[in-house]
């Protein structure tokens, strides 16, 4: 089954 990704792994510190 698929696992939930995290927003922080796509959007980093500005």
Can you give the binding site for another protein, defined by CB under 8 A? 1-14
Per-position b or e across 1-14, b if 16+ CB within 10 A of its CB: eeeeeeeeeeeeee
Continuous segment of H or E residues that includes residue 12: none
Q: How far is the CB of 8 from another protein (least distance, A)?
A: 5
């Amino acid at each position: 089954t698929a696992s939930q990704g995290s927003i922080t792994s796509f959007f980093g510190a500005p």
